[in-house]
Amino acid sequence: MPTIPIGNGLLRVAFASVLAAASQPEAACASNRGADTTAVENVRALLSSACRCTGATSHGRYLHCANGIVRAALWGGSKALRPTPSPVALRQEPGGGSRCIDTTAVESVRALVSSACEGVGARARGRYLRCAKGIVRASLRAGPIPRPVPAPVAFRQEPEGVTLGDPAFEALPGARADFGRLGGAVYQIEVPEKWNRRLVLFMHGWEELRPEAHVSAPDIRTDLILHGYAWGASSFSSTSWIAGRSADETAALWDYFTQKYGRPCWTYVTGMSMGGAASHIAAERYPDRFDGSLALCGSAGFVEGAMELADYFAAGAYVAGITQAEFDASTDAGSLVPSRILPALQSPAAHERFESIMLDLTGGPRAFDREGFRLEEDTNWRRAQLLVALHIAPNAGTVYRLGPLSTVSSDEFNRAAIRLPTNDALLRSFTEGNETTGGFEMPLLSLYATGDGQVPIEQARILRRRVDAAAKSDLLVQRVLRDASHCGFSNAEQEASFEALVGWVEHGVKPEGQDVLVDDLRTLGGQFELAPRPGTPEAEAVPGAAERVVVHGGLTLDGAPFDARFLGAIVRRDGLVTPCQYTLASVDDGRYEITVLADAEASGCGAPGAEILLWAFARNQRLFSRESLAWPGNGGTATFDASFSVSAPDGGAPPTSDFIGEVFRRAGERLPPGTRVEAYAGDVRCGVASTRRTGNYSGYILSVVGPDSVAGCDRDGTPTFRIDGQPATNAPGGGHTLDLILRRGPSSRGACSRTYG
């Protein structure tokens, strides 16, 4: 019988045993002379996996866990089991014991012994029990299967063309911070006082060749610490696109962590954007260190991303009328972007044509396709220009297949599309070690956004095909959320997916996913969204939605109409100021339209007696309108013309200090949308907001005013916070990023309350 890998799911262990018994009937029945050694090793492997965290600290705790599982399995008697994934429940052990028993492990042990002892069990209950007890006793005597620490991974010892940022940070309450330099990178590690012996390693996105490399903490840092997980992250030794090296240097961080704190019983790797691509590679490369991977908006590799940018250039050049001859005659191919392509795309008709071609090439129609495309257009053109100039944007062999959005045929586009030359040696230097083969060695759960204009959903489809071709389909689950943003997932959605991955890895409960190879991508989304996105029917049904107001009009900056990518709104009421835009809008030649929330949807927002002020990001700064608009009435529409000035950036808005963050109970449960958050100076309320009900941000945005707005307030001081009227503890973050935790309530979840699925 082949060796069963530890940590790849309890149910797979059970299935392997059943198959082995079927193929070796002479070994399936335990004899009076001793237990079936194959069954013993299978039960031992299963118990080693199920009790890994307890066994990591002491043999006695391992036996405590393993005995509870086998006792519950034998107590249930013989059972012919056909294991199927189902939510894992933790329940009290039989007979009123105090231990939490993983029912999936119990049923898997029962399946193993039932398969091995079914011959004797069919004739007599007593003989079945003798057989089963012989197997489990031998398994317990053998103890857990050792997990050797692998040899340290080789990694770069000096940074490559960058300086290293300061990794120092302040630990959350109840945790300790560890930071410093490791080879050519700097790192951060945070370990809670009540560590559950699980580790999460996070890999950040591409830093676009910036001169200084920085560490980024995972978005779900507070949730991890509250639930007992340690986390770590590396800056990496370069700010280039180095998904493969990111995986290697993260493995080196695991080596350091293990040497200092001991081997974690379970390790999860996760990353976003380039870090998501690195999560794919880590799942192939490091099964001796990592047990599961959560990949967020990761491309299938450097080549796939570079080909998409080549398509970007080819589609833009086609719409601009650039021929192959003109391109070949150019001494600076990258300069064609600002000189020829972007001016041509100023025409709305030309831009729509270009946009439609690109949407067809990246998956076809889907939710928020055009919104997401426009959000990332500047970024994509900057990158396309760079890659074309370096001759590392390959499309020479691409056969383009357009879809229903384009007005040009595939044949016509293939004939006219510019073919880009490549510097093969330079391209190899970027691709070497940065490609995903699909040969995963551990469970991987990936998330994508339908409208992501930087890592389009087509990347998810490429990944799926590659994994299928490698015969690893059972190790990949993909989820798609309707959102326009790059990596447009809320922290709550990331937490839910991480918990699903834990259930898969530790308990064999494979999460639900979606088929990204469907013909119509418009059918995807909705299933895994924890907050409705603006623009969906669900967002129009949240409490208070009917009371939003729509404001439109003309805007000037120092007397002239202007363009701005971001336009927001604040509401001033009773001296307090609250950010209240439904979504960020834009300004086009001085014209705008924006939706503003009412108090019924977001605490502190619009109500009778309130005023609306606008803010815009222009000239590299945030500017507030000089004028204000009286609240037009719930559900109303109003015209509001306003002016801004660079010399008076605050306009008519009072100065504030702004805070953002998430809110939790002490046990780690996230508080629901609409939870009220207030800031106080003593007994004086100086700010009010609530957690968002819609969108991909699940926290709060709070402005604290000073004494010029409300007597007794101090916007430069340290406020205290209340959540739904109850005192909150401040969890430190960078700048004015503050996660808030209710002081009252249980300090941990119920001992047997957690489920996975």
Cβ atoms of 217 and 178 closer than 8 Å: no
pLDDT: which is higher, 428 or 9: 428
Mean of pLDDT values over 362-379: 96
Mean of pLDDT values over 705-732: 89
pLDDT of residue 121: 53
Over 50: is that where the pLDDT of 753 sits?
Answer: no
Report helix, strand or coil for 586: strand
Cβ atoms of 485 and 696 closer than 8 Å: yes
CB-neighbour burial class of residue 143 (10 A; exposed 0-12, middle 13-18, buried 19+)? middle
How crowded is residue 94: how many other Cβ atoms within 10 Å of its Cβ? 14
Q: In whole angstroms, what separates CA 659 from the centre of its chain?
A: 22
pLDDT of residue 83: 36
CA–CA dist 677, 730 (Å, integer): 12
Over 50: is that where the pLDDT of 755 sits?
Answer: no
pLDDT of residue 394: 95
CA–CA dist 704, 685 (Å, integer): 9
Over 50: is that where the pLDDT of 27 sits?
Answer: no
Q: Which of 17-21, 101-105, 159-163, 598-602 has the lowest mean pLDDT?
A: 17-21
The first and second tokens of residue 357, run together, are 């071609």
290 DSSP β-pair partners: none
654: Cβ–Cβ under 8 A, 6 or more apart, which residues?
572, 577, 705, 706, 708, 709
Domain with CATH 2.60.40.1120 in the chain: 538-644
Mean of pLDDT values over 232-251: 97
Q: If you average pLDDT over every residue of the chain, what do you get?
A: 89
What spatial distance separates the first Cα and last Cα of the chain, rounded to whole Å?
30
Amino acid at 320: A
Would the CA dihedral through 641, 645, 646, 652 be positive or negative? negative
pLDDT digits (tens, 9 = 90+) for 176-190: 999 999 999 999 999
Over 90: is that where the pLDDT of 2 sits?
Answer: no
pLDDT digits (tens, 9 = 90+) for 278-300: 999 999 999 999 999 999 999 99
pLDDT of residue 8: 44
Report helix, strand or coil for 618: strand
Amino acid at 356: S
The first and second tokens of residue 415, run together, are 């004939």
CA–CA dist 196, 227 (Å, integer): 8
Report helix, strand or coil for 535: coil
Domain with CATH 3.40.50.1820 in the chain: 163-301+436-523
The first and second tokens of residue 372, run together, are 């997401």
pLDDT of residue 157: 97
For the domain with range 656-742, which CATH number is right: 3.30.420, 2.60.40, 1.10.1740, 3.30.70? 2.60.40
259: Cβ–Cβ under 8 A, 6 or more apart, which residues?
none
The first and second tokens of residue 317, run together, are 């050049």
pLDDT of residue 743: 67
Place domain 538-644 in its CATH homologous superfamily: Carboxypeptidase-like, regulatory domain (2.60.40.1120)
Q: Which helix (H) or strand (E) holds 65?
A: helix 59-75
Cβ atoms of 680 and 719 closer than 8 Å: yes
The first and second tokens of residue 41, run together, are 């090793």
CA–CA dist 727, 746 (Å, integer): 15
Cβ atoms of 362 and 458 closer than 8 Å: yes
- On whether the 163-301+436-523 domain is CATH 3.40.50.1820, my answer is yes
pLDDT of residue 117: 85
679 DSSP β-pair partners: 687, 721
The first and second tokens of residue 484, run together, are 């326009």
pLDDT: which is higher, 278 or 754: 278
